[in-house]
Chains A and B, each alone.
Chain A
Amino acid sequence: MTFTTTVETLPTMGRYNLRCKRENTVALSKSLGFDLPSSIGEAARSGTQSALKLGPDEWLLTCPMEERATIRQSLTDVYPEAVHSLTDISSREISIRVSGDQAEELLSTSCPRNLAKLSTGCGVRTIFDSVQVVLMREGDRQFRLDVWRSFAPHVLGLLAVACAEFESGL
C-alpha cells in the first residue's frame, strides 16, 4: 500500500479556554449563540465557531482569529449574571492535521488511547508520547492535534519519523 498520509501544521486560529459551573452553561450558550456540548468529548459547531467539551467545567472554543473579539465581548457582557473564566490561548498552541488512509495507525505510534472509539466530530485531551494534546477526529481519516507550542517540534519530529517508517513498508 502506498503511504499517502500527510502531516501539516495549521495557521494560527482563535482559541479560548472557557470555564464555568454547570448552572451557567445555559446563559453562556445563549450568549455564544449555540449550545455548549454537555458530554466530555463532544463538540458543537455554529458557523465558523466551535466548542469542544474537555472536562466537566471546561470547553475549548475555536474561531477564526478575527472573531475572537466578538466572542470575548458577548461573554464579557453576560459575566455579571453568569460568572466564568474566558482565557485567550490562541498563541499557546499549534494545531497539527494528520490526514490520509493510515492517519489513525500513524497516531497509534505514540497515542495509547483506542482511537477507534473516537467518533468523527469528537475530541479529547489525551497524551501523545509524553506530550499532552487535544486530539480531535475531524473525519474518518482526518485528525487534528492541538499541542502546546514548545512541544510541537517533538510531536512533529515523532510524526516525521513515523511517516518514514510507514513509507518503508515494514
Chain B
Amino acid sequence: MNNWRVDGKGRINRDKRVRFTFDGVSFEGFEGDTVASALLANGVHLMGRSFKYHRPRGPVTAGSEEPNALIGTSRGGSGRFEPNTRATVQEIYEGLTTVSQNKWPSLNFDVGAVNDKLHKLFAAGFYYKTFMWPKSFWDKVYEPVIRASAGLGVSPAEPDADTYASRYLHTDLLIVGAGPSGLAAALTAARSGVDVVLVDEHRELGGSLLSEAPTAIDGKSAESWLAETVAELNAYPNLRVMTRATAIGYYHENMVGVAEKLTDHLAEPPATAPRERMWRIRAQEVILAQGALERPLVFDGNDRPGVMMASAAQTYLNRFGVKVGNAAVVVTSHDSAWYAAFDLADAGVNIAAIVDVRASVSEHLQAEARKRDISIKLEHTVTTVLGKKRVSRVKLGKVSEDGNVSGIGTVSCDTLLMCGGWTPSLHLFSHTKGSLHWDAENEVFLPGEKTERCHIAGGGRGLWSQQAAFDDGVHAAQQALASRGQSAPALSIDVDGDRTGSGIIMEELPSNDDKFARRAFVDFQNDVTAKDIRLAVREGMLSIEHVKRFTTNGMATDQGKMSNMNGLKIAADELGRPAPKVGLTTFRPPYTPTSFGTFAGYHKDALFEVTRKTNIDSWAEENGAVFEPVSLWRRARYFPKTGEGMHGAVARECRQTRASVGMFDASTLGKIEVVGPDAAEFLNRMYTNPWSKLAPGRCRYGLLLGEDGFIRDDGVIGRISNDRFHVTTTTGGAARVLTMMEHFLQTEWSDLDVWLTSTTEQWSTIALNGPNARKILEPFMEGADLSAEAFPHMALRECTVGGFEARLFRVSFTGELGFEVNVPSEHGRALWEILYEEGKKHDMCVYGTETMHVLRAEKGYIIVGQDTDGTVTPVDAGLSWAIGKKKPDFVGKRSLKRPDMLLPTRKQLVGLLTEDPNVVLEEGAQIVEAGDTAIPAKMLGHVTSSYWSETLGRSIAMALLEGGFERNGTSIDIPMPEKTHRATVTGTVFYDPDGERINM
C-alpha cells in the first residue's frame, strides 16, 4: 500500500482492501478504517478548510470530538449527500465518495483563504460591529455575502432518500461507553443477572483499550482479554450490546436517547433497512463511562495540519496501524503524551523532542525517553509552528521562572503531538442538571450532586489509568445494583504494566510574542483564538456565557468538546479570577451531531403526521375531488368537472344545491354521546342554551363559551331519548370540547350522573341540502315519515336508511331544506353511492367544504374559529338569541357581565357589501373609517369571511368591526396595496332573510 502503514499494528482487516474517493481522487484503505485513518495512511493530512479564515486543516483527533476534518459524504444516489461528516468517524466502504469543504476552487488553492490574511478585521464581535451601518447595506450587501461565505459545508438540496427508525427500550441498567470502566461494569452486572444494555459509539467495544499499546490484563495480552470479554458479554441473554450507537442526550427519569447508525458503513445495505435508529432507553440505573477527552494546547499555529492530539496519534497507530508522520515533536503538560511518544518511537517514528512545560517529570518517564534516544526539554514550550499545509518546523523556547521565554531555535518535524491534559466527559451528566464541582488540586470539573439515578465511572471522575478505570467500573456496577437492593460479586481485573500519570492545565503556552498577534486557536471549528477570548473580556464580557456568545467559542457542532476548558482558563486568566468563579457553559443535547432523520424517525412522507380520512374519502378521491386539510382531516374542498377551476366548480355546486340538491360528506363533525339521568342538566351548565325542555326526537343549535365568556364551539345537539343526547361539535373542536366537558364534569360536577363518549368515528354523516333533498332520501326510508308535518325542521329520528341503522337529523347549514344522515362509519360510502345514484334523477351535485362555506356565509351562519377568534362573545356575534336568559348559570355566563363585555364599541360581526360587486375582499384585510388616509390609520376590524356568491351574483363578506352594529348602513374602507375598496356595513344574512326555504 504505502509506507505510512505499520506492519503488525492495528485492528483493520488487512485481507480486505477498500477503495473510496476523496475530492475525486481514488484512495485505498482497509476494512475497519475511517476516512481519516485511510487518508493518513496515504499521507494525506490536509482534509478541509476552516470556517472563517479558510485555514488549511487536518484531523486533530481520531474520534467523534473532531472539529477540523469535516467532509461531505455521498451514500449513493440522489438525496444521500451529507455535509460536515467527521472523517474520523465515517468508516470507509467500497465506493464511498467524499469531498472536502469550505474551499473554492480547490482544497489546495482556496480564494477564501484571503480571510486569513485579513484576520485582524475578523476579530470577535466583528459581525456585530461591522455590519451595523449603513442600514440600507444589510439586505443588499451584507446578508447575501455573509450567507454565501458563511456556514459549514453545503446543505443537501434533495429530500433525504433514506428511512429512519425509532424504538423504545426498558432495562435495569444502561451503561454508556464500553472502555475499561464500561466493560468492567457490564461484566459485573451481567454476571449478576440483571438486564443490561451496553452502548458505544465505535464499531467495536474496547474504548481506550483499542488505542493503547498492550498492557497485560489478567495475565493475557490486552487484545486477548478484550476478545474474551466481548465473547463473554455477547453470550449473556440478559445483556444487549449496541455499537455505532451514541448516547446523545440524557433526559428526565433516566431516559437516554441513543442514536444508532445502521447502514453508513455498508456498501450495499439491505433494501428496507433504516439508516439510523433513535433508541429511547428507559433504565432503572445508568452508568456513564464515557471517559475523558484530551485537551489541546493553545499556541501560535496549533491548528496546522500535522498538529494533532498525542492520543490521536496513538489511536491511529495502535487501532488503525497508521503512523501519522516520520518525525514528530511532542509538546505536553501531562504524562500521557510521553507514553504516546514511546508508542510512536517503538513503531519507528523519529521523536525529535518531548517538550514539557513542567519543571519536573517522573524519573521513570525520563528514563524511558532516554532509552529511546528522545531529547527531553523540560520547562520548555513551543512558541510557533511553521509550515502551512503541513507542519515543517516548530520554534522552541525555554521558559524561565518569571514566565519569560528565550528561544532556543527550531526543530524540523512533520508532526507535532500535543497534550494539555484530560477533560472528564460529563456532557450527559450535565444534561441531567447534575452539578459539577471544581477540583482545585487537579483543576478539573468533576461530577457533584446528582438529579438522576446515575453513576459515573472511570475517566469521567478524573481517574486516569486502566487499573483505576476497571476498578471504578466494577464499583459503579455494584453501586447501581445496590440501589436496586441487589448485590454483585466482586470482580477484580488486574492490569500489569499500567500507565499512570498526571499533569497540569495551562492557558496559552508561554511565549514572548504579542498575545494579540498569535494565531493560537481555542475553538478550531469556529476559528476562535485566544486573542478573541481576551478581547471579549476586555470589551466587558464578564461571564463565560457572554464570552461564549461574543466569540462563538464552543458553539460549533463539536459543542466545545475541545475548547470549553481552554476558553474558560483563558477568560479566567484575563479576568484575574479563578476558573470556577467564571463558570462553565451549559452542555446541551445532542452530544454529537445527529441527523434530522434520526429525530424524525418514521415521520416522513405519508407518515409525516396523521392524515385522517372518512369512509367516503375514497369515493371523493376516485371522483376527482380537490382536498384541503382541516385539523388532521383531509376533506374534499370541491369536485371540479373537466376543465373547471375552483371558481367554476364552486359556482356550479352552489347553483345546483340551491336549485335542486347537493350532497356533502359531513362525517368529520365531532360527535359526543352524553348519557345519564343528569344529561340535560349537564348540557344546561355547559351550553348557553336551555336543554331541559327539549323533547326527545328534537334538536337545537348549541353554543359553547369558555369561562371567559368567549365563543369556543357550536353545533347541533339532538335529544335521542330522555337521558341520551347526540352532541355535535365543529370538526376542529371535537377533542377540545370533549376535554373541556370532561374537565368540568370530573373536577367540578362529579355529583352529576352523566357520562361522555366520543362517537365522532362511530358515524359517517351525509348531508343533503336543497329543495329536492327529501326526494333523494324518501325512497330509502324505513320507519320515518319525512313529510314537513311529520318531520319538521330540527327533528331527529332513529330509523333505517338504505338498510342501514341511522340517526336522521333535519338540520340545515345552507338555509335550504336539509337532512343529515348518520350511519355506522363503515357503511358511509355504501349509502353515499346509493344516494348518489338516486341523485342523478334530480340534477344533484356533490359539493365540498368551499361550497359549504359560501352557502353558510350567504345565510350569515358563522364558522367558529373563522368568524370568531377567541375574543368574540355571543352578543358580538349576533347570537344573543342562543343565550338561555332564565338559566341561573352556564359556563361563561358571569363573564358576559364584566364591564368590558358590555361596551358598545366592541368588535361585532357584521356583513359587508363592496361598492364594486365584483370585488371579493381578502379574508384578513383590515378595515378603516371611510376616507381615512392617515398613516397609520386606525384599524377598526378585519374581514373574517369573504366569497363570491353565485346565488346573489355578487361578492359578500363578514367582518368583525368596532361598534359594528351601530355602523349598519354606513360605509367603511378596506385599503389594499392596489387600491382602497369601499363597502357598506349590513346585517349578516344575505339570502332568504325570512328563512322560508328551510321549511319546505
Contacts and interface: CB of A to CB of B under 8 A. Distances in A.
Decide if A and B are genuine partners.
yes
Interface of A: 12, 17, 19-21, 57, 83-93, 105, 108-114, 116, 129-131, 148-151, 153-154, 157-158, 161-162, 164-165, 167-170
A86 B673 CA distance: 10
Contact of A170 (B166, B269, B282): B269
A88 B762 contact: yes
Given A89-B757, A92-B761, A93-B761, A111 B602 contact: no
Contacts of B826: 12, 91, 149
Nearest to B603: A129
B673 A87 contact: yes
A112 B169 CA distance: 8
**Band of interface residues on B:** 35 or more
Contact of B272 (A57, A116, A165): A165
B826 to A, nearest CB: 6
Interface stretch (B392-400, B607-615, B622-630, B909-917): B607-615
Nearest to B614: A150
B676 interface: yes
B676 A154 contact: no
Contacts of A89: 757, 759, 762
Contact of A109 (B602, B753, B757): B602
B870 to A, nearest CB: 25
A85 B166 CA distance: 39
B263 A161 contact: no
23 contacts: A19-B675, A83-B677, A83-B723, A84-B676, A85-B757, A87-B673, A87-B757, A87-B759, A88-B762, A90-B824, A91-B762, A91-B824, A92-B760, A108-B169, A109-B166, A110-B166, A130-B609, A150-B613, A162-B602, A164-B272, A165-B163, A168-B273, A168-B274
Nearest to B671: A92
Nearest to A129: B602
A158 B602 contact: yes
Contacts of B607: 154, 157-158, 161
B633 interface: yes
B270 interface: yes
B755 A154 contact: no
A93 B824 CA distance: 11
A78 B677 CA distance: 14
Nearest to B255: A112
Nearest to B764: A91
B355 interface: no
A21 B759 CA distance: 21
Contact of B168 (A93, A111, A148): A111
Contacts of A92: 758-762, 825
A170 B260 CA distance: 11
A83 B762 contact: no
Contacts of A19: 675, 755, 757
Contacts of A91: 761-763, 824-826
A89 to B, nearest CB: 6
Contacts of B758: 92
Choose among B615, B673, B755, B760 the residue with the greatest number of A CB atoms under 10 Å from its CB. Answer: B755
A83 B754 CA distance: 9
Q: DSSP class of B's interface residues: helix, strand, loop or mixed? A: loop
A112 B280 contact: yes
Interface string B264-285: 0000011111100000101000
Contact of A114 (B273, B282, B675): B282
Contacts of A170: 262-263, 269-270, 273-274
B301 to A, nearest CB: 44
B480 interface: no
Contact of B825 (A87, A108, A149): A149
Contact of A150 (B163, B167, B676, B761): B761
B675 A151 contact: no
A85 B755 contact: yes
A109 B611 CA distance: 20
B484 interface: no
Contacts of A148: 760-761
A109 B167 contact: yes
B311 to A, nearest CB: 32
Contact of A151 (B167, B610, B676): B610
A19 B613 CA distance: 29
Contact of B602 (A110, A149, A167): A110
Given A83-B753, A92-B758, A154-B610, 8 more contacts: A85-B675, A91-B826, A105-B167, A110-B166, A114-B282, A130-B609, A149-B825, A170-B270
B167 A108 contact: yes
B761 A149 contact: yes
Nearest to A57: B755
B757 A151 contact: no
B647 interface: no
A94 B607 CA distance: 19
A63 B611 CA distance: 30
A50 to B, nearest CB: 18
Contacts of A93: 761
A161 B163 contact: yes
Contacts of B825: 91-92, 149
Contacts of A130: 609-610
A93 B763 CA distance: 11
Contacts of A161: 163, 602, 607
Interface in B161-196: 163, 165-170
Contacts of B170: 114, 116
Contacts of B677: 83
Contacts of B118: none
B790 interface: no
B635 to A, nearest CB: 12
A28 to B, nearest CB: 13
Given A91-B762, A154-B610, A168 B755 contact: no
A105 B279 CA distance: 12
Contacts of B614: 150
B272 A167 contact: yes
B676 A85 contact: yes
B606 interface: yes
Contacts of B271: 168
Nearest to B672: A87
Nearest to B166: A109
A168 B272 CA distance: 6
B606 A168 contact: no
Nearest to A112: B168
A111 B166 CA distance: 10
A168 B270 contact: yes
Nearest to A19: B755
Contacts of A108: 167-169
A112 B754 CA distance: 32
A72 B754 CA distance: 18
Closest 4 CB pairs of A and B: A85-B755, A150-B612, A85-B675, A19-B755
A112 B633 CA distance: 25
Contacts of B269: 168, 170
B321 to A, nearest CB: 28
Given A167-B272, A170-B270, A162 B165 contact: yes
Contacts of A165: 163, 165, 272-274
A20 B755 CA distance: 8
A83 B676 CA distance: 7
B610 to A, nearest CB: 5
A93 B684 CA distance: 30
A19 B170 CA distance: 33
Interface in B540-598: none
A127 B199 CA distance: 27
A153 to B, nearest CB: 7
Interface string B754-790: 1101111111000000000000000000000000000
Nearest to A151: B610
Contacts of B824: 90-91
A111 B675 CA distance: 32
A12 B610 CA distance: 22
A157 B611 CA distance: 11
Nearest to B275: A170
